[in-house]
Structure 1
Amino acid sequence: MSDTNVQEKELPRYRPATDIIEKEDGFHLLVDMPGVSKEQLTIDLNDNTLRVSGKSESLLASQERNLDQEFATAEYVRSFTLSDVIDQNGIQANLNNGVLDIHLPKVQKSEPKKIEIQSA
């Protein structure tokens, strides 16, 4: 087993703080992902479960050493169960300044319509 594999298994795992906001265009999940880059972020949708995971990376250069460390490499994982009111094909995500904004649009309501009766 390499040092990299051991290091990844020992990463602290956090459940990121999340705000859920309802707007006219649907729901927005605002997920705190400090230090996570787009390349280290994964969003999976399986059935009605949306899973967000990401890994932050240490900002320490190879020639530097820590005297005190409060921010380290860590893994963030959070899952959400989606209801039938969500249009799963329209989900979009944007990562900006360490905050992941996942837009969950609502399914469009069908408009009432009159059914014509055909004569035989």
Structure 2
Amino acid sequence: ADMPGISKDRLNVKVEGDTLTIEGDAEIPMPEGMEPLYADVRATHYQRSFTLSSEMDTEKVEASLKHGVLTLHIPKREEHKPRKIEVQVD
């Protein structure tokens, strides 16, 4: 997710039940005494929710934030991962 202007301390990622919620507040620093006339950012508060499949292991969600990009890794539960079946030869 693109999260420009959002630092780690202003970001909240949580899982409740089967819902993943991402929230963040952008901080756009302005020099003292200056007022912006135009900005590409329309809103400074981001919020998005996603419904996760029951196949996802919500206990093992990993999140990283780098250069304004939030990356989430949500693995499948072990019992839902494909497994190789050994073929027996008679």
What is the TM-score normalised by the length of structure 2?
Answer: 0.79
Specify the structure having the higher radius of gyration (Cα). 1
The separation in 2 between residues aligned to 1:74 and 1:67, in whole angstroms, is: 16
Q: Percent identity?
A: 35
Query: Does residue 54 of structure 1 match 2:35?
Result: no
The separation in 2 between residues aligned to 1:65 and 1:104, in whole angstroms, is: 41
* Unmatched runs of 5 consecutive residues or more in structure 2: 84-90
Q: Could you say which residue in structure 2 is the equivalent of 1:83?
A: 53
Q: Could you say which residue in structure 1 is the equivalent of 2:88?
A: none
What is the TM-score normalised by the length of structure 1?
Answer: 0.60
**Partner-residue secondary structure (3-state), 1:42:** strand
Partners of 1:57 and 1:72 within 8 A in 2: no
Q: CA deviation at 1:73?
A: 5.9
Q: Which amino acid aligns with 1:76?
A: Y
Higher strand share: 1
Let me know the Cα RMSD of the aligned residues.
2.1
Change (3 A) 1:64 1:72: farther
* Unmatched runs of 5 consecutive residues or more in structure 1: 1-30, 112-120
